Amino acid sequence: MALLEWGELDFPWIIRWGLGLCLIVLGNAVVWSGVMQLGMAATSGDEGVLRTRGLYRFSRNPQYVADMAILIGIGLLPASILAWPVIITGVAALILATFAEERWLIDRYGDAYRTYLQKTRRFL
Question: What's the pLDDT score for residue 74?
Answer: 93
pTM above 0.75, yes or no: yes
Q: Where are the domains of the chain?
A: 12-43+50-119
pLDDT tens for 41-87 read 666 666 678 889 999 999 999 999 999 999 999 999 999 999 999 99
Average pLDDT in the 7-21 region? 93
Phi, psi of 120 (to 5 degrees): -125, 135
Q: Note whether 37 and 50 are within 8 A (CB).
A: no
Cα–Cα distances in angstroms (integers) from residue 106 to residues 6, 19, 63, 65, 83, in the given order: 44, 36, 19, 20, 35
Residue 31 pLDDT > 90, yes or no?
yes
